[in-house]
Structure 1
Amino acid sequence: MVMKVVGKIVTKMPTATILAVLILTSLLGYAYFGIGAEMEAEEETFLPDNELVNAEIEIKDIYGTTRPVQVLVKSKNGDVLTSDALTEMLRLEKGFLEDENINSTLISERNPQRMISPADTIIIGKILLDLIAEMDVTFQDMNASFTGIGQMVNGSHAAINQAIDTPYLNTTLL
């Protein structure tokens, strides 16, 4: 309903509408740039004022925050997935860990994911593939066991049916 009224006003007086928008924009621009109104949009502005939040802010102020850094490796032959290139990546990673200046800036000694390379990803993939292969063998063994159990149950079922169907028993099962 309101939009229809606004639409009618704009279509009847387009020049006045444009002038009103320009005047409003000029006033807001003057208020921001001319007077020097400052706008604060830091994370702390939106956080509640409690002990836990204040402690986190203090820790960030003292120790700073963490951010990921990427190290790009270029292979001499252009293929970073060769054995030599992957080994070199692991040597580089080991060098970073052994350098006290670099190691001290890493996230945490307890965090195993503080540094990961394509070589690490391939090693993890190999471990997972080996685990899947072991699980496949285990499931095949389980399947063979269940097949054997199924055959025993079927044999027992057949023996029970044969005993029930024997004519000389003269009994009826209810």
Structure 2
Amino acid sequence: MHNIIRYRNRPYLPFEARKQQSETSDSADTPSGPLHHVKNYHTDYRLKSRELHLYNATRNDAALSVIASIDAVKSWDERLQALGMAITILNNRGEEGKAKTYATAICKNFPKHQSIKIDADPALNLRGLAFILQCQDKETLYDATIYALGLRLGSDAKQQILDSHYINGFGASWSARLALTGH
């Protein structure tokens, strides 16, 4: 029997229980979990929780907090924008590999709005959410490191600083993670 957590006065089952429940039920239209309202869009609560876990793991590790420039990206939106910017940079300048293939797919799914400046584009937040989504199902030891590299790459890009070592490190680490998780 699974423990039921209450979220916004609704039962919230752990992922394993929801998966078992969805396998036994006929309704394919049920949402995957409760939604958490964040500014102008809704996101699955589990994504917010996973991102917060990665942020705390990065912030609490002395080396990763320096790599991530954690003080430059304190809010949820700033972190998602930084990750979205890292995905965009990997798509545009990264070396070929699994990570670049994923970055290209994410960028195609959430195209940049041509009339909006890049740092104000909501597509960046959605690209950041897509990155967190692919980190959600299987946890690896690389996750906090990749997250830290993505934050650094994105926050540096806002200041017009691009370092090929961070770009290639982010791509290579993400490719290794994808290989470990069977993607």
Pick the TM interval, shorter chain.
under 0.3
Q: Which has the higher strand share?
A: 2
TM-score normalised by the chain length of structure 2: 0.21
TM-score normalised by the chain length of structure 1: 0.22
- Which gives a bigger RCO, structure 1 or 2 (Cα 8 Å, sep 6+)? 2
Q: Which has the larger radius of gyration?
A: 1
